[in-house]
A = this chain, B = another copy of it.
Amino acid sequence: MVSDLSSQKKAAIVIEALPFIKQFYGKTMVIKYGGNAMLNDKLKHMVIQDITLMRYVGISPVVVHGGGPEITDFLKKVGKKSEFVSGLRVTDLETVEIAEMVLNGKINSEIVSLLNADGIKAVGVSGKDANLIRARKKLAVVHDHGTESEVDIGYVGEVERINEKLLTDLIQSGYVPVIAPIGVGADYESYNINADYVAAEIAGAMKAEKLLLLTDTEGVYRDFEDKSTFISSLTKDEALGMINDGTIAGGMIPKVEACLRALQLGARKVHIIDGRQPHSLLLEVFTAQGIGTQIKTR
């Protein structure tokens, strides 16, 4: 509650959002939802409110969620150890089935209900519905003594094609699609796919105005140790350069690569934002300064 402010001031603040509301009216925004913003109940509630607000002011939000930690937890519960190769989970048939159950039958379901409870009409979608996410096997790249080899780690996939018609049909009928990052292979087998990449491919296929990645970092730094080197805006080429020269490193690399992929496919802008901040979506979309790091074509 912000009750200590006069009504007049509140009105003035609401009016400050007007230019952004005008700018984004009728546009599609893809939100990658994950990390702390999904674990913390208070943050979760705020993300839901932000998505609801976006929908009511004329934006078409499309939500893609992750769920790595919950999958790990559940695998433990059934006594299955998670093994990783180059950061990717080795995924046998039983593992991908459990991943699908957790993503589609638990996390997705919960987000859908929270949005419905907040007054919009959300519909959960798996990549298998109407073949939304066509996938193929992704091999892990292993570096060993200077040689690089590819290893088959099972049902880990990458996006081959997005059949976005189901999404546009749902949006046109007034629903907000919430997507679990499960893809379907040529033989109708399931693949677990990194949610950042799924969000990027969907943002690209839908020519989204924005791809918003909710992460557990503030964004990109020139020098991660020195908070004063925070970068609020990058071009595609600058981002590529910073990957090549090692400025962007570690877990930030795949996130930035997903961003670049979205831009290449036709999304207009991507944002790496801090999901740990209250109302981070709203701050990015409806304020002049925004938050996090944006990457744009040029």
Task: State the main secondary structure of chain A at its contact with B.
Answer: helix
Provide the residues of chain B in CB contact with A10, threshold 8 Å: 13, 16, 287
A72 CB, min distance to chain B CBs, angstroms: 15
Q: Contact at A56–B21, with CB atoms within 8 Å? A: yes
Instruction: Please tell me if A145 contacts chain B, counting CB pairs below 8 Å.
Output: no
Interface residues of A in 153-204 (CB under 8 A from B): 166, 169, 173, 175, 182, 184, 188, 190
> Which residues of A from 1 to 27 have beta carbons under 8 Å from B?
1-2, 5, 7-18, 21-22, 25
Give the copy number.
Answer: 6
Contacting pair A188 B102 (CB below 8 A): no
* A129 CB within 8 Å of chain B: yes
Residue ID in chain B nearest A105 by CB atoms:
B105
Query: A283 at the A/B interface (Cβ < 8 Å)?
Result: yes
**Contact stretch, chosen from A34-42, A113-121, A232-240:** A113-121
Are A56 and B22 also in contact (CB < 8 A) when A105-B103, A116-B131 are? yes
Query: For residue A8, which residue of chain B has the nearest CB?
Result: B278
For A217, list chain B residues within 8 Å (CB): none
CB distance from A139 to the nearest CB of B (A): 23
Question: Which residues on the B side are within 8 Å of A85 (C-beta)?
Answer: none
Closest B residue to A57 by beta carbon equals B57
Q: Residue A252 at the B interface, CB < 8 A?
A: no
A101 to B106, Cβ gap below 8 A? yes
